[in-house]
Amino acid sequence: MTKPQIWVAAFLVIFLLLFLLEKSTNRSDIQEKSASSSAPQMGQSTQASSPQDLMSSIGCTGCHGTDLKGTKMAPNIHGVKKYWTRDNLINYLRNPVSFMSSERFKSYRIKYEVMMPSFNNIDVKNLGKIADYLLQLQ
């Protein structure tokens, strides 16, 4: 190679390196941007729809306690799996009064001043999520 040829080759190599460098930094920029723009959305949707958040926003935890293990106002609702099927539990949340005849509920009526309110204004899908969550609490 002559001297000018070496210079040309060297410039070509430098351009190629700069080009690759720019490409790789661009790509990570894009990734960062898409990651930061989608992260809050994902956070919001899981936040709004998790059964725990639903129950605190609806107010279940206000009576049953933040750990759902009961307060002076309402019973422990861990382990309700032994009493309810999924469908019955959803129906119960929508209309508790129609399930009051059992001995368990008679003793609840003596023990607690307030009654379980009916949640027929809540989207059934969300009640389903809550039911699924309650049915797996031990």
Stretch that binds ligand HEC, among 11-19, 24-32, 40-48, 108-116 (CB under 6 A): 108-116
Q: Does 114 bind ligand HEC (CB under 6 A)?
A: yes
Q: What is the nearest approach in angstroms of ligand HEC to the Cβ of residue 44? A: 21
Q: Are 55 and 129 contacting, i.e. CB atoms less than 8 angstroms apart?
A: no
Q: CB-wise, 3 or 113, nearer to ligand HEC?
A: 113
Q: Which residues contact 96 (CB under 8 A, 6 or more apart)?
A: 115, 116, 117, 118
Angle, helix 3-49 to helix 51-58, in steps of 10 degrees: 50
The residues near 72 (Cβ < 8 Å, ≥ 6 apart) are 112
27 vs 109, beta carbon nearer ligand HEC = 109
Point out which residues bind ligand HEC (CB under 6 A).
55, 58-60, 62-64, 73-75, 77, 80, 83, 93, 96, 104-105, 108-109, 112, 114-117, 119, 130, 134
